[in-house]
Chain A
Amino acid sequence: MAAESTIDALGQFELHPVLGQIGEALRFSQSPLFMLIAVVLVLAFLYLGMRPAAVVPGRLQAAAEIGYDFIHNMATDTIGEKGTAFFPFVFAIFFFILAGNYLGLVPYSFTFTSHIVVTVSLALLVFLVSILASLKAQGMKFFAHFMPEGAPVFLAPLLIPIEILSFLSRPVSLSIRLFANMMAGHVLLEVFAGFTLMLAGLGLFGPALAVAPVAINVALTALELLVGVLQAYVFAILTCIYLREAVAH
């Protein structure tokens, strides 16, 4: 790799079958593998943390409880009284994305949240759940939301398409925000890592200069840690907001 003069920033997103022929047949790539790892890690965190079930929690239990309380408060504060019903869903969304984002920062791992089909699937799941919840809670009144209250009737031909468009754009923005953030971050990391290799091969002063991109990558990793939790939070809080609109009234 070091000798190559071009940087293959996108190669990290390629999907390869896991376990050779079996993975090929089952269409099982590193992406589902890391989903599985993420899920197992989150569940292990919860189960190992809560195993003592102590009244006075230890560190791991306190961490698990903080995670629980954080999402629980988010769900109940944002969605309202009915938030408890959606709490496991929001919890699953948040920790699935968070674990995916953070796992991607481990060298040699794979970031499944950098795949648009994954983020779109998640966004459509949220979209679908909020529509179903809305139809269940409000029935046909759900469609009344596409006409803003108090707006003049003659504006309806203009407002209704806009409202429908903004409603439909929700899963698009939701999925692309996460996908673009994760992909951009990893491309940047790869590009600067490539710079390091290229500079290191430049002869006498190369290795000294190569420190700079490493330093940048350290900073970028810190930024990515922030972005990882921020994007998971944004996804979860938007899910809560959509669900609040769905169950309100």
Chain B
Amino acid sequence: MRLPSRNLAASLAVALALGAVPGRAWAAGMPQLDFSNPLLLGQVVWGAIIFAVFYGILSRSALPRIDRVLTHRRNRIEGDLDIARRARDDADRAVDELRRARHDAAAQAQANIDRVVQEARMAADAQTQEMNRRLVSDIADAEKRIASAREEALASLPAVATETAQSLIEKLLRPAGLDASVSRARIQDVVQAGLSSSKG
């Protein structure tokens, strides 16, 4: 035990402390320095025991318990912050995704519209071309028919003209008693010449 040495030091300290106080009369009046009372040093022994037990309980049980609570709280707060941070990241990502999805959808819709418009335009073009082609062929047919009719008409023209001329001649000359016997070939030549000159 180091108690005796501690007691020695204690009395030494007290002597030092009270060195300035003249005489021992006042010191003797102080119950704190009444070393004849066994209770005085008894409190040192008891104090050592009580303090040792106090320290033991504090360091083994009481303080670690508080430390556990504080550590748990710190971890919990950190964990909650992590969760919150992760939730925020998730939300950000979701918003990004939403924005991208909307953007994609808009782009796709635009593409669809473009395609439909394009198709409609192409269909219209095709229809127009088809119609044009039909019209062109119709026109061509009509022209062909007109041409052939004209051809026919033109072809029958000399005969008709000759006929007409002959009958005109006969009707003009016969009442006058003139010889209306002009050869048919002669009239035909004249009509042919007239036609060709008018044609030219």
Chain A residues with CB under 8 Å of chain B are: 10-11, 13-17, 26-29, 31-32, 35-36, 39, 42-43, 46-47, 50, 53-55, 61, 64-65, 68-69, 87-89, 91-92, 96, 112, 114-118, 120-125, 128, 171-172, 175-176, 179, 183
Asked if B31 and A121 sit within 8 Å, CB to CB, the answer is: no
Asked if A120 and B50 sit within 8 Å, CB to CB, the answer is: no
**Can you report 29 residue pairs joining A to B where beta carbons are below 8 Å apart?**
A11-B31, A15-B31, A15-B43, A17-B39, A28-B42, A29-B42, A32-B50, A39-B54, A46-B62, A50-B62, A54-B69, A65-B66, A89-B59, A92-B54, A92-B55, A112-B43, A115-B40, A116-B33, A117-B7, A117-B10, A117-B14, A117-B43, A120-B10, A120-B14, A121-B10, A171-B13, A172-B13, A172-B16, A176-B13
Residues of B within 8 A of A175 (CB): 13
Asked if B33 and A50 sit within 8 Å, CB to CB, the answer is: no
**Closest 8 CB pairs between A and B?**
A27-B42, A32-B46, A88-B59, A15-B39, A31-B43, A29-B39, A120-B10, A14-B31
Looking at chain A's contact residues, the main secondary structure is helix
Partner of B47, one of A31, A43, A50: A31
**In the complex, what distance in Å separates the CA atom of A124 from the CA atom of B53?**
18
Asked if B76 and A55 sit within 8 Å, CB to CB, the answer is: yes
A231 to chain B, nearest CB (A): 16
Residues of A within 8 A of B41 (CB): 27, 117
Chain B residues with CB under 8 Å of chain A are: 2, 6-7, 9-10, 13-14, 16-17, 29-33, 37-48, 50-51, 53-55, 57-59, 62-63, 65-70, 72-73, 76
**In the complex, what distance in Å separates the CA atom of A157 from the CA atom of B66?**
50
**In the complex, what distance in Å separates the CA atom of A112 from the CA atom of B46?**
12
A167 to chain B, nearest CB (A): 14
**In the complex, what distance in Å separates the CA atom of A69 from the CA atom of B7?**
35
Q: Which residue of B lies closest to A31 (CB)?
A: B43
Given contacts A15-B39, A35-B47, A42-B54, 11 further A-B contacts (CB under 8 A): A13-B31, A27-B45, A31-B46, A32-B42, A46-B66, A53-B68, A92-B54, A116-B14, A118-B47, A120-B14, A121-B47
Asked if A43 and B54 sit within 8 Å, CB to CB, the answer is: yes
Residues of B within 8 A of A55 (CB): 72-73, 76
Interface centre among B40, B54, B59 (most CB of A within 10 A): B54
**In the complex, what distance in Å separates the CA atom of A83 from the CA atom of B32?**
34
